[in-house]
Every structure is written in structure tokens, then in C-alpha cells.
Amino acid sequence: MKLHWKILIGMALGVIVGLLLNESFVVGGGVGELMRRLLQPILGPIGTIFITLLKMMIVPLIVASMVVGVARVGDIRKLGGLGGRTFVFYLVTTWASVLVGLLVVNLIRPGVGAPPLSGEVPDAVKTDVGFWGIIIGMIPDNPIAAMANMDILPVIVFSLFFGAILTTLGDRGLPLINVFESLNEVMMKMADVIIRFTPIGVFALLANVVAETGTSIFANLGKYMLTVILGLSVHALITLPLILKYIGRISPVRYVSKLTPALTTAFSTASSSATLPITIDCVESRAGVSSRVSSFVLPIGATINMDGTALYESVAAVFIAQVYGIELSWTQQMVVFLTATLAAVGAAGIPSAGLVTMAIVLNAVGLPLEGIGMILAVDRMLDMCRTTVNVWGDTVGCAVISRLEREDVPPQLRHAPSQKSS
Ligand code: ASP
């Protein structure tokens, strides 16, 4: 059976088992209780093992793939071109997604008439880092410490700088480039092994989440959740596929089928960074996109390109304003538009990061931080959805940028033979 079928079955089983284990779901004859006793002690550790395996890969994979990526581009000027395209593509698609977010939340108005709910504001939210904080935080004062703490963005900045200088050394740089090439190959092979465990990992993670949250969260804030999910769907199912088809000349359906392991891992882990090893493996080995582009574009994407998070931040901010009865002017919505983009760039690729950087958006338009406490209860579910869109946005970016770099469409991604594909 193909891997993506195994994963989809794993997901479905995860949801079913999670529902059976959920306290509010009554299974007769004490069966539910028995299942809880037997399964819960196993499912938790299995999910944790899967996530830890992925996390184990992140730092060495990012360092190796960024250095190799930069070294393969070779010439610093060409790197500037690739970097520029990557930056512009990521920025434009993030803006497109925030626009969709603002559109749906203003049309549906999910917060109008909703009673303000109370909730704890997470401590992390109270320390607003601001614009300069984000910029300064990108530079590691100690690269080894940044690696040890898994501060991904500083690690990327260091690796980029390191790789760029390495290419200027000519022959003297070759031995080190070879070392990183081998390291990169080893990491990719390791990712190839881990990807086989995706069906089990996804199953265990989903069963745990569903067992903990159940379906009761939909009772409150249901309209808000639906608004976020509608916005995410428009971006993921309309905007990005159109870009893929018309700019990248790549079949969206074929591409998405190659990415099932990455997208489902993103959904079940709610972490773009943890998903990165699988994302790179899918894009390179399964979809056949050139590794020259993907090893540069994907680590950056997983860290700063978050279409789903940006959309979510704009919807959440306007929703909070609506609940508190505060009318946001067009200028204020423009501020939401810009700060939601910044907050998404600043969010790390880990669960709930977007919730924390929401403080930037709320502060900018003078909304109470308590609003974050209000939407906390439904955050995990929405995090899973927005992370999937984040990873989808990165991979679409990678495929389109590889085309803009004049790479051929990989045979497995071409449209039906009757159509011209390039
Ligand atoms: N969990 C998201 C990610 O890893 C970030 C967020 O919280 O929005 O992409």
C-alpha cells in the first residue's frame, strides 16, 4: 500500500480512537474506561517519540542543507537572485493570505454579539518583542547556543553567512563543502527512514489531541473557528493552487499527492520546524524538485513564511475587536494587515507560536491582550490547520521558485500529457 494511504488511514483511526477515549464520549459497559487505561499510557509516548525523532533532525539538517544550498548556488550574485525571489514570493503570498483573512472576518463578523469569554493570558504573550526585537533576535550571539536551544532563525542566519563565505574560498573551501554534502546526505537518508513511521506517529498524535479536546470546543467560538478555517481553505485550495498552476505550470493535484506525509505531519504536530525533515524529503525525493532550490528555500520557509499564521492573526485580532465592541477603522485594519505579516514572520515554527506573537498585532491597534486568553481554548485545533497551510505555502513557494530559477518541471508533477507544461 502507498505511504499516503497508510497515513490517511492512520489519521482516520487516530480521530476514531481519540473520540472513543474522550471522557465526554460514553462507550457502554466500561469499554471506554478500559480503552483509556490500556491505550492512553501507550499513545502519549508513541506521539512523543515521533515528534522527538523529527526534532532530533532539525538542527543538523538545517545547517547542512543551508550550507549545501548556498554552496550549490555558487556565485554570491546568483544567491542574491534566488534569495530575492524567495523573499518576494513569500511576502506576496503572505499578504494574499492576510487579505483573505481580513475579507472573511469582515464579511462573517463572527465576534459581533458574542459574549466576551474569560481566559488566562499565557505569560509568554506579555513580553512583546516588537520589530527590532525580532530583527536583533535573528543574529545569534553564540551559534552553538542557538543550535542547542533550537533557535532556528539565528541558526539559519549563521549557516547562510557561513555558506556564502565558504563559496568565496575556491579550492580551499572544497573539503568543508564535501563534509557538509555528506552530512546533508546522511540527514536526508535519516529523514527517509523516519518518514516510514509517519502513519503511526500521526495516528498517535491525533488520538491524543482528540482524546483531550473532544468535540465540545466547537460549542463556543464555533463561528470564529469556521471563519479561520474558511479563510485558510480559500488560501490553500484556491490561491496557492492557482499560483502553482499558472506561474509554476505544475499540477496542484499531483504535487499535493506527493506531499501527503508532510502535510499530515504538519497537521498532527502543529510545528513547521518539526515537519521540516519530512517536508524536504517529500519535495526532493517524492516530488523531484531540485535540491539546489529546496535546501535553501524550505528551511527559510519553515521559519519565516507562515501564510496560515498570518491569516489567523488577522482574523483573531478583528474577532477580538468585534467581541469587545471596538470598531476598527480601515487604517487600523491596514495596521493589522502589516503587523500580522510581521507577527507571522516572527513566530517560530512550533506549536502556539502564533498565539504568542499576536501581542504585536493587538498592541499595535490598542486591543486588550485578554483577548488572547479568550481564544486560547480553541488554539490547538486552529494551530493544526494553520500549520498545514504554512507548510503547503512553503512547498508551493519551493516549486514555483524552482521554476522561476528555470528548473524543469519534474516529470511526476507534469500536467496530463495533452497539456503543454512548460
Ligand atoms: N504552529 C505554527 C507553525 O509551526 C506557528 C503558529 O503557531 O502559528 O507553523
Q: Is residue 402 part of a domain?
A: yes
| pLDDT tens track for 83-120 | 899 999 999 999 999 999 999 999 999 988 776 666 66
Q: Is residue 269 part of a domain?
A: yes
- Residue 294 domain boundaries: 3-413
> Ligand 1, closest atom to CA 274?
4
The per-residue pLDDT string of the chain (422 residues; one tens digit each, 9 = 90 and over) reads 788 889 999 989 998 888 888 776 666 667 777 777 788 889 989 999 999 999 999 999 999 988 988 887 777 777 888 889 999 999 999 999 999 999 999 999 998 877 666 666 666 555 556 678 778 888 999 999 999 998 888 999 999 899 989 988 888 989 999 999 999 999 989 988 999 999 999 999 989 888 887 665 566 678 899 999 999 999 999 999 999 999 999 999 999 999 999 999 999 999 999 999 999 999 999 999 988 899 889 999 998 999 999 999 999 999 999 988 888 998 999 999 999 999 898 888 999 899 888 888 998 898 888 888 888 878 888 999 999 999 999 999 999 999 988 777 777 777 654 444 43
Q: How many CB atoms lie within 10 A of CB 391?
A: 32
The rounded distance, in Å, linking the Cα atoms of 341 and 131 is 11
CB 360 within 8 A of CB 343: yes
Residue 87 CA, ligand 1 centroid: distance in Å: 19
DSSP string, 217-251: GGTSSHHHHHHHHHHHHHIIIIIHHHHHHHTS---
Residue 195 dihedral angles phi and psi, to the nearest 5°: -60, -25
Distances (CA, A) of 48 to 151, 194, 280, 417: 20, 14, 21, 44
| pLDDT tens track for 385-412 | 999 999 999 999 999 999 988 777 777 7
- Secondary structure class of 122 (helix, strand, coil): coil
Q: Is residue 90 part of a domain?
A: yes
| CB-based pocket (< 6 A), ligand 1 | 270-272, 306, 309, 347, 349-354, 383, 386-387, 390
Mutational pocket test of ligand 1: of 345, 352, 357, 361, the residue with most ligand atoms within 8 Å of the beta carbon? 352
> Ligand 1, closest atom to CA 355?
7
> Ligand 1, closest atom to CA 272?
4
Mutational pocket test of ligand 1: of 150, 153, 272, the residue with most ligand atoms within 8 Å of the beta carbon? 272
Q: Is residue 61 part of a domain?
A: yes
Count Cβ atoms within 10 A of the Cβ of residue 218 and give its class: 0-12 exposed, 13-18 middle, 19 or more buried: middle
Q: Is residue 408 part of a domain?
A: yes
Mutational pocket test of ligand 1: of 97, 263, 312, 387, the residue with most ligand atoms within 8 Å of the beta carbon? 387
Residue 262 CA, ligand 1 centroid: distance in Å: 14
Q: Is residue 420 part of a domain?
A: no
The rounded distance, in Å, linking the Cα atoms of 313 and 282 is 28
CB 345 within 8 A of CB 309: no
Q: Is residue 422 part of a domain?
A: no
Q: pTM above 0.85?
A: yes
> Ligand 1, closest atom to CA 356?
7
Q: Is residue 419 part of a domain?
A: no
Smallest Cα–Cα separation from 290: which of 59, 92, 93, 82? Answer: 82
Residue 312 dihedral angles phi and psi, to the nearest 5°: -60, -40
CATH code (residue 382): 1.10.3860.10
| Buried-state track 89-103, b at ≥16 Cβ within 10 A, e below 16 | bbeebbbbbbbbbbe
- Secondary structure class of 298 (helix, strand, coil): helix
The rounded distance, in Å, linking the Cα atoms of 36 and 248 is 48
**Nearest residue (CA) to ligand 1, atom 1:** 351
53: Cα within 13 Å, side-chain hemisphere: 19
Q: Hey, what's the cell of 180?
A: 557538509
The rounded distance, in Å, linking the Cα atoms of 389 and 396 is 10
Q: Match 516572527 to its residue by C-alpha cell.
A: 346
The rounded distance, in Å, linking the Cα atoms of 307 and 236 is 9
The rounded distance, in Å, linking the Cα atoms of 48 and 46 is 5
> Ligand 1, closest atom to CA 275?
4
Domain count, the chain: 1
User: What's the one-letter identity of residue 213?
Assistant: T
| Cα angle value 227/232/235 (rounded, 5°) | 130
> Ligand 1, closest atom to CA 349?
4
Count Cβ atoms within 10 A of the Cβ of residue 32 and give its class: 0-12 exposed, 13-18 middle, 19 or more buried: middle
Mutational pocket test of ligand 1: of 269, 390, 392, the residue with most ligand atoms within 8 Å of the beta carbon? 390
